[in-house]
Amino acid sequence: MTAPSTARFTGKVALITGGGTNIGRTTALSFAREGALVVVAGRTAESLAETVGAIEAEGGKADAITADVTDSTEVARLVATVVERHGGLHIAFNNAGTVGKPGLLAELEEDVWDRVFAVNTRGVWLAMKYEIEHMRQHGGGVIVNAASNIGFHGRRPGLGAYAASKAAVSVLTRNAAREYIGEGVRINAVSAGGTDTPMSYRSGETTEQRDARVAAAVPLGRVATTQEIADGVLWLASDQSGYVVGHDLVIDGGATA
């Protein structure tokens, strides 16, 4: 793969948590196609290796590091290893997340609630903690966090823990953006709506049933592709959005509207 002449990320090192599948993998491929050296992180070595293989098959540069974003020691090691191996960290997409077992709030088990918040909210906080620590000391950088449109509207009974955890990511993003923009660290979030991943299906649904349900609920009439979400992440990470600070970019076909 030869980076296009308009490549926005040549010479940059980009870290993507949750980079083994779905939006994470598509975003990793997109960054690599625009010149970045991409490091994907997550708990499953096999899926990370598949992402690296896909990037390298196109001629791009990639690396994989296993890490649990809920563990501060592992997150610190992750960021330190990226810097040690590749000489820096310029861009981070904190994408690792989990939906958790669905359940109405009064029936939800405490361990499900705790796990969803550990991955979705604590994981983003820990990632930012160590990414910011490096970036503020090395000329700045860009961070994009994965929130969700459900954090805005909450219209999914049974997913209260997920909705609350993602709303927290959106607020945390705005707070962090204000705290660190003066030191050259620009932080934003992206909130995807229904996207063509396993999460877009309800239990037992066929693709046809999923598509019909979405068509009735989403003004645009379809789910997003993972590429459409990745395109938003890359824009937020690029100089083209250089005046955008503390924003949560909703990409949901008008569902929130």
**138-158 burial by CB neighbour count: b if 16+ within 10 A, else e?**
eeebbbbbbbbbbbbeeeeeb
Mean pLDDT for 21-42 is 98
Q: Give the pLDDT confidence of 200-226 residue by residue, as tens digits.
A: 888 888 999 989 988 888 999 999 999
* pLDDT at 200 (0 to 100): 80
Model confidence band, residue 156 (pLDDT cutoffs 50, 70, 90) = confident
Look up residue 128 and give its two tokens: 């930012």
Output the CA torsion 128→131→137→139 (10° steps). -100
| Residues 6+ away with beta carbon under 8 Å from 143 | 91, 92, 93, 94, 128, 131, 132, 135, 176, 185, 186, 187, 188
For 1-130, list the strands marked E by DSSP. 13-17, 37-42, 61-66, 91-94
Would you call 204 exposed, middle or buried from its count of C-beta atoms within 10 A (0-12, 13-18, 19+)?
A: exposed
Mean pLDDT for 187-206 is 89
* pLDDT at 3 (0 to 100): 47
- Map out the domains of the chain with their CATH numbers: 13-248 (3.40.50.720)
Query: Please, what is the Cα angle at 37 between 183 and 197, to 5 degrees?
Result: 95
Mean pLDDT for 134-141 is 97
Compute the half-sphere exposure of residue 70: CA atoms within 13 Å on the CB side of its CA: 10
* pLDDT at 15 (0 to 100): 98
User: What are the catalytic residues?
Assistant: 162
Tell me the whole-structure pTM to 2 decimals.
Answer: 0.94
**44 in helix, strand or coil?**
coil
